[in-house]
């Protein structure tokens, strides 16, 4: 099968905000305890954080980590997680029916985030708590000193404010599963009042308002419209969440589901613009896709887990080659919407629906989905180029006109390089890609790395890394007047990263 695409240096979608390569750590399952934090593990540092886990987080180059939830935050008293360890209460984690020891809280997490070179995206509880507790947390974290909450932080041994810049106004408040869920008007009003207090304390912060928990929520659209009516002037982002699943073993349909992510983004952006137009505002609302991934493998196992234990092994999906392709399509979709999506968090990071698995007392290893994320995070920063594609399409059970090729290109002006990310959705045939690249200096092919395998159910484990990227045979780059033509084969059912660089910087074609 053949595919054509065209790139031009001058035709771009927008800049990738580095924060789209964010991730998420929630007090859920073994994400924190026996995930990032395991005192007594041979690889633990003096604070109890595992160096081997931190090394893989750094390898993924994650600039932003959302914390502490997720559903957890809607019943969390942040005050439980600060101050002397011996005084911290053990509480019920109501969201996940587990025990929370509070040995890790805001200050410990901030220390860990620094260690892995990430900024924290903090969340406030707008379920059981409200505007006052949210404001107190901002004061505790971001105010210099000389007030009750900022001095409390200092008395806890943290002299300098954390300066967290990005905050979530609650989590999935539209969902009936959420502790103290709300209707959109109720949420909009409470969140606007919380936002006023939070920004009064620190005007430099940015706030993400809860959007719909997923696009098939019965209240989708109405939720965004109504809550934004209250929050448009206070929020900087609307948050989106989406998890894909292949419950019916229908690969073609599963790989097509990123189309739903694309239309979700476009519909939420449109709704934001509608509210902005109604209010006669110039401001353009940004989007924060702060939970996205594949999630379904662990659903049945989770039903058997006993309640009220500490760090139960919840949501421990083991990912397949097929999942890596679905995740690749989602990543490309996020990049193709770089003009609106400024923040995104792969949910989650360690053990819980995660690219990194940390065995209790044992090894740490990379899941299949680790690799597309690492490729995009390392090489996907720069100017996202428009990437029109001509390729055959298919219809699946739920989606029509699904292109066999999903692709996006990012141009890094500083390094004078182009990274092309592509998924071949054709499960049987190579895609012979013919890419016309215009407006660039003479290029050379640096590498073509591919993640593929005939067994789409193949997974990795602590002892075997079956699925990892390998060097592909490469392709040809032909010079034409005014453009260059790349011919390259993309194997069936594959994630591809093709990198090009200018041969002699400064020599325009
Ligand atoms: O990431 C797991 C859970 O999924 C989060 O806690 C919640 O926000 C979402 O429903």
Please report, for the domain that includes residue 181, its CATH number. 3.20.20.80
Q: Specify the ligand 1 atom closest to the Cα of 24.
A: 1
Is 300 labeled as catalytic in the residue annotation? no
- Cβ(172) to ligand 1 under 6 A? yes
Residues 500/417, Cβ–Cβ less than 8 Å? yes
Atom 8 in ligand 1: which residue has the minimum CA distance? 70
Give yes or no: residues 420 and 488 share one domain: yes
- Which of 330, 320, 424, 329 has the alpha carbon at shortest distance from 368? 320
* Cβ of residue 291 lying under 6 Å from some atom of ligand 1: yes
Residue 254 resides in a domain = no
- Where the chain has pLDDT below 50, the residues are 508-509
Separation CA 405–CA 480 (nearest Å): 24
CB atoms closer than 10 angstroms to residue 78: 22
Cβ 168 vs Cβ 123: under 8 Å: yes
Do residue 21 and residue 131 come from a single domain? yes
Element (H, E) at 137: helix 131-142
Query: Which residue in the block uniquely carries the two structure tokens 């760090």?
Result: 311
pLDDT at 473: 85
**Test site for ligand 1: of 30, 73, 291, 344, most ligand atoms within 8 A of the Cβ:** 291
Q: Are 22 and 343 in contact (CB under 8 A)?
A: yes
Q: How many residues does the chain have?
A: 509
For ligand 1, atom 1, name the residue with the nearest CA. 347
Contacts of 154 (CB under 8 A, 6+ apart): 145
Q: Are residues 478 and 362 in the same domain?
A: no
User: How far apart (Å, rounded) are the C-alpha atoms in residues 70 and 170?
Assistant: 8
Rounded Cα gap, residues 120 and 128, in angstroms: 22
Among candidate residues 119, 139, 291, 316, the one labeled active-site is 291
- Note whether 174 and 187 are within 8 A (CB): yes
Query: Does 99 share its domain with 186?
Result: yes
Residues 458 and 497 in one domain: yes
Determine, yes or no, domain membership for 267.
Answer: no
Is 470 within the bounds of a domain?
yes
- Other Cβ atoms less than 10 A from the Cβ of 167: the count is 26
Active site residue 291: yes
Distance of CA 497 to the CA centre of its chain: 19
User: How far apart, in whole angstroms, are the C-alpha atoms of residue 185 and residue 177?
Assistant: 18
Q: Tell me, yes or no, whether 263 lies in a domain.
A: no
* Cα–Cα–Cα angle for 24, 114, 379, rounded to 5 degrees: 65
Neighbours of 345 (CB within 10 A): 28
Q: Do 338 and 392 fall within a single domain?
A: no
Q: Is 211 in the pocket of ligand 1 (CB under 6 A)?
A: no
Q: Is 233 inside any structural domain?
A: yes
251 in any annotated domain: no
Q: Are strands 64-67 and 22-24 parallel, antiparallel or unpaired?
A: parallel
- Closest-CA residue, ligand 1 atom 4, reads 70
What is the model's pLDDT at position 395? 98
**Ligand 1 pocket, 61 CB below 6 A?**
no
> Do 224 and 325 belong to one domain?
yes
**Ligand 1 atom nearest 70 alpha carbon:** 6
Nearest CA to ligand 1 atom 9: 70
Span from the CA of 71 to the centroid of ligand 1 (angstroms): 6
Please indicate, yes or no, whether residues 92 and 177 belong to a single structural domain of this protein.
Answer: yes
Which of 26, 108, 119, 172 is catalytic? The answer is 172
Question: Looking at ligand 1, which atom is closest to the CA of residue 72?
Answer: 6
Q: Are residues 342 and 399 in the same domain?
A: no
439 and 461 belong to one structural domain: yes
Contact indicator for 73, 31 with CB cutoff of 8 Å = no
In a domain, 250, yes or no: no
Question: Domain boundary at 379, 399, 430, which?
Answer: 379
Residue 45: domain span: 17-240+282-379
Residue 50 in contact with residue 41, Cβ under 8 Å?
yes
Of 379, 401, 425, which residue sits at a domain end? Answer: 379
What CATH number does the domain containing 446 carry? 2.60.40.1180
> Is 290's C-beta closer than 6 angstroms to any atom of ligand 1?
no
As for how many domains the chain has, the answer is 2
Look at residues 360, 379, 398 and tell me which one is the last residue of a structural domain.
379
259 assigned to some structural domain: no
Q: How far is CA 351 from CA 84, 322, 448, in A?
A: 27, 19, 30
Q: Kindly report the protein residue whose alpha carbon is nearest to atom 7 of ligand 1.
A: 70
Considering the domain architecture, whether residues 189 and 322 belong to the same structural domain is answered as: yes
Q: Do residues 465 and 404 both lie within one domain?
A: yes
């Amino acid at each position: 099968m053949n595919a054509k695409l065209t790139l031009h240096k001058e035709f771009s979608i927008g800049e990738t905000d580095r924060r789209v390569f964010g991730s998420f750590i929630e007090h859920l399952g073994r994400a924190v305890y026996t995930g990032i934090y395991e005192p007594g593990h041979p690889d633990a540092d003096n604070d109890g954080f595992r160096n081997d886990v931190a090394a893989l987080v750094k390898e993924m180059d994650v600039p932003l980590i959302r914390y502490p939830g997720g559903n957890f935050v809607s019943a969390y008293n942040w005050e439980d997680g600060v101050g002397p360890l011996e005084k911290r209460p053990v509480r019920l984690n109501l969201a996940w029916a587990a025990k929370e020891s509070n040995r890790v809280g805001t200050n410990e997490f901030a220390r860990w985030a620094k260690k892995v070179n990430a900024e924290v995206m903090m969340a406030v509880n707008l379920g059981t708590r409200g505007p006052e507790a949210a404001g107190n947390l901002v004061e505790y974290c971001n105010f210099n000193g000389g007030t009750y909450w900022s001095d409390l932080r200092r008395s806890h041994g943290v002299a300098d404010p954390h300066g967290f810049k990005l905050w979530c106004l609650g989590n999935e408040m539209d969902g009936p599963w959420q502790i103290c869920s709300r209707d959109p008007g109720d949420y909009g009003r409470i969140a606007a009042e919380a936002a006023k207090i939070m920004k009064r304390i620190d005007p430099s912060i940015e706030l993400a308002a809860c959007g719909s928990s997923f696009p098939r929520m019965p209240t989708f659209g109405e939720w965004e419209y109504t809550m934004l009516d209250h929050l448009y002037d206070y929020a900087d982002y609307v948050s989106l969440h989406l998890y894909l699943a292949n419950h019916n073993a229908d690969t073609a349909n599963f790989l097509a589901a990123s189309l739903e992510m694309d239309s979700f983004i476009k519909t939420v952006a449109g709704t934001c613009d509608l509210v902005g137009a109604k209010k006669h505002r110039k401001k353009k609302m940004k989007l924060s896709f702060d939970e996205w991934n594949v999630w379904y493998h662990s659903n049945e196992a989770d039903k058997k887990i006993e309640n009220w234990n500490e760090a139960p092994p919840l949501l421990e999906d083991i990912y397949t080659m097929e999942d890596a392709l679905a995740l690749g399509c989602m990543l490309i979709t996020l990049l193709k919407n770089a003009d609106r999506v400024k923040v995104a968090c792969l949910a989650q990071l360690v053990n819980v629906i995660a690219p990194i698995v940390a065995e209790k007392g044992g090894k740490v290893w990379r899941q299949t989905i680790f690799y597309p994320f690492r490729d995009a995070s390392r090489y996907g920063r720069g100017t996202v180029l428009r990437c029109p594609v001509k390729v055959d399409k298919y219809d699946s059970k739920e989606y029509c006109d699904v292109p066999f090729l999903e692709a996006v290109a990012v141009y890094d002006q500083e390094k004078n390089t182009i990274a092309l990310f592509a998924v071949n959705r054709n499960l049987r045939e190579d895609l012979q890609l013919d890419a016309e690249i215009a407006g660039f200096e003479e290029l050379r092919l640096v590498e073509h790395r591919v993640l593929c395998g005939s067994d789409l159910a193949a997974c990795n484990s602590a002892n075997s890394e079956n699925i990892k990227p390998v060097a592909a045979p490469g392709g040809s780059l032909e010079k034409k007047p005014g453009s260059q033509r790349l011919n390259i084969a993309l194997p069936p059912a594959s994630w591809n990263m093709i990198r090009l660089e200018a041969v002699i910087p400064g020599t325009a074609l």
